[in-house]
Amino acid sequence: MQQGHGRCHKRGRSRLHWIISLLLLCLPAGVKAQQPAVVTFSLDFPGSEPSHYAISVSSNGHSTYDSDGKLSPDSEGDPFHLEFSMSPETSRRIFDLAERAHYFEGEVDSRKKNLASTGVKTLTYKDAGRSTTATYNYSMVAAVQQVTQLFQSLSTTLEFGRRLEYFHRYQKLALDEELKRMDDAASRSDLEEMAAVLPILQRIVTDTSVINPVRARAQRMIERAGSPKR
């Protein structure tokens, strides 16, 4: 009787191990399905500043920015990497535009002749079941135009933040001119996701070694960041 009970117990354990093994085999597919979707934009434009940058935005908001912008005229390029959290509003806009652009499938470049080169642009969409890439100079697709402008404005904002970090640390006298340029860009609606540069603006405001007019200008930029984009 005890031997029979032991055999049943062993069969029960074997069945349990088989079920666990089956679940483990299925796990990678389940994990893959939960991976966030990612939209990536890159620009390569020799002679511009920066001449290369790339922005990746995940559907969960995690974002990265890489560029080779110069921090001084004598520099040959200063590699820069930033990880930040995209606001839910901007992330939704990006993925909505990707959907409206059919996830960048097919030809998006206008292929019009005699158009001035504005750099080689690449848009990529990737999720668990799709991976598409489009390269273009200029596109007639409205959603592609809009997402391109959004990413270019985001790069402009992040480059301002990067230079402000550098000037605050090494060249405080350059902060005033840089903040004036940033204010002008904001007035033209050329900036996007200003929350990403709030930390450096706040450090400038609270730094008593920075002259008061510069701190006041940084404070106005913080207030701009909290205002709805027109």
Answering whether pTM is above 0.85, one says: no
93 and 3 part of one domain: no
On whether both 112 and 144 belong to a single domain, the answer is: yes
The pLDDT value recorded for residue 79 is 92
Model pLDDT, residue 30: 47
Residue 118: partners with Cβ closer than 8 Å, 6 or more residues away = 45, 137, 138
Averaged pLDDT in 10-residue chunks for the chain of 230 residues: 50 51 48 79 94 97 94 80 96 98 95 89 96 96 98 97 96 97 95 95 97 97 75
Does residue 72 sit in the same domain as residue 185? yes
Domain extent, residue 103, equals: 38-225
Together in a domain, 24 and 45:
no
Tokens at 182, concatenated? 């940033």
The domain tally of the chain equals 2
pLDDT at 224: 87
CB 57 within 8 A of CB 38: yes
What is the CB neighbour count within 10 angstroms for residue 105?
12
